Amino acid sequence: MALAGDELGNTLLPGKPAVRCSPGGWKSARLIIFVEMAEQFAFYGISSNLITYLTGPLGESTAAAAVNINAWSGTVSFLPLLWGFVADSFLGRFRTIVIASLLYILGLGLLSFSAMVPSPSQDSNQLQVTLVFVSLYLIALGQGGYTPCLKVFGADQFVGNDLEKSKAKSSFFNWLTFGGSVSILLTRLVSNYIQEDLSWSLGFGIPGASMLLALLLFLLGTKSYRFTSERGGKKNPFARINRVFMEAIKNRRQRDLDIANPNETFLLLAHQGSKQFRFLDRAAISCELAEIEEAKALLKLVPIWISCLVYAVVCAQPYTFFTKQGSTMNRSISPGLLVPAATLQCVISIMMVIFIPIYDRLLVPIVRSLTQNHLGITMLQRIGTGIFLSILAMVVAALVETKRLQTAQDDVMISVWWLAPQYAIVGISYVFTLIGLHEFFYDQVPSELRSIGMALNLSIFGVGHFLSSFMISVIDKVTSQSCQTSWFDNDLNKAHLDYFYWLLAFVSSICFASYLWFAKSYVYNRPTTF
C-alpha cells in the first residue's frame, strides 16, 4: 500500500490521495510527545521495579535477577535493529508503530495476569515464572518496534534541512525526552508503591492501560500527520548498501584506471564524494555516487557506536544494583512509612525534568551566541559531556558504597538519600548523551534509513545491557572461586559493589578517551550540523 502525497508538504495518508493542508509541524509533534509519555509510563512502570519482583515473589538471587534483567533490557534495545529494517524496507513507520503497539499491549496484559497466578507448589511457581518471562519478551518485541519508529516519525513532522527545521528537530528531541521524563517520574512514584504495598497484578495492569491509551492517542492524530516517503525508491536501501560493499570487495584488486567507466564516475568521486573509506569508491563501476555515500555514512557511525557501549553499561546500574543498594539502607521517612528502593530512580527523572528546559531555553541560546553553532554545542560534544558525567557517577557510587559498607560493620544503616547524588549525575548525563545520541543517529544516516538509524542508537544500550550481564556473570564466577564471597553476594554487606563501580569508572575512562579521538576526526554529513 503506497504512501500518497506531493512535494509541497501536503498531508500524506497511507493509501489515500494527498490532502491540501499544512500537516505535520508542532501540532502533530505535540501529540506524539503525549503518546511517548503514555508509553514511557507503561514501560518504566514495569522495568523500574523488576529486580524487586524477581528477587521477591519469584525468588531469584540478586546476581541471577541482575543477569536476567540485563538480558531482557538488552533484547529490548537490540530488537529495534530488526524492526528498523522492517519499517524502512517493507511496512513503513506508521504501520510498524501500530503492529508493535498491539504486541506491547498483549505482553503487558499477560504480565498482569501472570502476577495473579497463585504459587502454592513448585509446579505452579514454575508456571508463573514461564508466564512472566514470555510476557516480558513479548513486551520487548513490541517496544523494540515502537520506540525507534515513534521517535523518527515525530521528527519527520518537521520536513526540510533548513536552519529553522534543524532547530525544531533538535528542540523536539529535547521536549520528547522531557515528556518521557515526566511520565517516568509519575510511574515510579505511583506504580512502585502499588506494586510493593497493594498488588503486583494491579501494579502491572495500570501500565497496560497506559499503553492502550498511547495507541488510541496515536491513531487519533492519523489525519494530521505528515507521512514521508518512508521506503526506498527504486531499490531497497539495504540492498543498495549491501551491493556497494559487495562491488567494492569484488573490485578490491583492480587499479583505479581499470575501473573508471566511460562516464569517469570513479574519477569524479575524488572531487564529489567524501574522502573517508576510499576503498568503497571501487564500487563506482556499477554503483551510483549517492549509493556509495550512503554506505560511507553508515560505516563511519561504527566507531562512535562502539565507543559509547560502556556508557550503556553504566546506564544499566541504576535499575539493578543502585536499587539493591537502596534496599539495604535506611528508607524510613516517618514511623511505619518506608520509601520503596526503586523510588529513588525518580531522582533521575527529576533532574531531567529540571535540566532539559534549562538546557533548551537557557544554555543553548547562550552557548549559540559564543560558538555560532545553532545547536549550541555539536552533537558529538553533547554526547561526550554525558559520557564524562557517567564516569563521575561511578566514582561517586563507589565512594558511597564504601561508606555504606563501613557503617554496616558497626550495624548502622545510613540513609537511602546518600544514593541521590549518583542518581542525579546519571540523570544529567542522560540530558546530554541520551538526547544527543537520538539526534545524532537521526541526523547522520541517509533519510531513507532513519528508522534503522534510531535503532542503531538504541542498540548501543542493548549491547550495553548484554555486556553488563556478561560482566556480572564472569565477575560473580571468578570472585566466588578466588575470594570467600562474590562481589555480588546476596548479602550486600558481604559483597563488593564498590569494586565493581571502580572497575566501571576505569573502563569508562578508557572508552571516553577513544570516543574523543573518534569524535575529533568525525566529518558531519550535513552543513546544518555545524
pLDDT at 458 over 50: yes
Joined together, the cell numbers standing for residue 77 give 534495545
What's the topology of domain 25-231+301-529? Growth Hormone; Chain: A; (1.20.1250)
Please report the DSSP string for 308-360 in residue order: THHHHHHHHGGGTHHHHHHHTSB-EEETTEE--GGGGGHHHHHHHHHHHHHII
| Sign of the dihedral through C-alpha 98, 103, 109, 115 | negative
- Amino acid 112 reads S
Number of alpha carbons in the 13 Å side-chain half-sphere of residue 365: 5
What digits encode the pLDDT tens for the residues 225-259?
A: 887 654 544 456 667 777 787 877 877 666 554 54
pLDDT of residue 164: 67
Q: How confident is the model at residue 127 (pLDDT cuts 50, 70, 90)?
A: confident
pLDDT of residue 396: 95
- Say how far apart CA 73 and CA 67 lie, in whole Å: 10
Domain positions in the chain: 25-231+301-529, 237-297
pTM exceeding the 0.85 threshold for the entire prediction: no
pLDDT of residue 328: 83
Which of 474, 426, 470 minimizes the C-alpha distance to 315?
426
pLDDT at 399 over 90: yes
Average pLDDT value for residue range 317-325: 82
- Say how far apart CA 393 and CA 390 lie, in whole Å: 5
Phi, psi for residue 120 in degrees, rounded to 5: -75, -20
Of residues 334 and 355, more confidence is placed in: 355
What digits encode the pLDDT tens for the residues 282-318?
A: 777 777 777 777 788 888 888 999 999 999 999 888 8
- Say how far apart CA 178 and CA 385 lie, in whole Å: 19
The secondary element (H helix, E strand) that includes residue 481 is helix 450-482
- Say how far apart CA 183 and CA 385 lie, in whole Å: 25
Determine the 3-state secondary structure of 437 from DSSP: helix
Report CA-CA distances (Å) from 423 to 190, 287, 341, 348, 419. 19, 50, 12, 5, 7
Joined together, the cell numbers standing for residue 85 give 529494517
Average pLDDT value for residue range 72-99: 83
The residues facing 334 across adjacent strands are: 337
Q: How confident is the model at residue 264 (pLDDT cuts 50, 70, 90)?
A: very low
Q: How confident is the model at residue 375 (pLDDT cuts 50, 70, 90)?
A: low
Joined together, the cell numbers standing for residue 32 give 506524539
- Say how far apart CA 158 and CA 154 lie, in whole Å: 8
Residue 521: Cβ-neighbour burial (10 angstroms; 0-12, 13-18, 19+): exposed
pLDDT of residue 100: 92
First and final CA of the chain: distance in angstroms?
38
- Amino acid 447 reads S
**The residue to which cell 530488537 is assigned:** 79
Q: How confident is the model at residue 275 (pLDDT cuts 50, 70, 90)?
A: low
- Amino acid 178 reads F
Which of 126, 134, 136 minimizes the C-alpha distance to 69?
136
pLDDT of residue 421: 93
**The residue to which cell 529494517 is assigned:** 85
- Summary mean pLDDT of the chain: 79
Output the CA angle 408-414-415, nearest 5 degrees.
155
Joined together, the cell numbers standing for residue 322 give 543502585
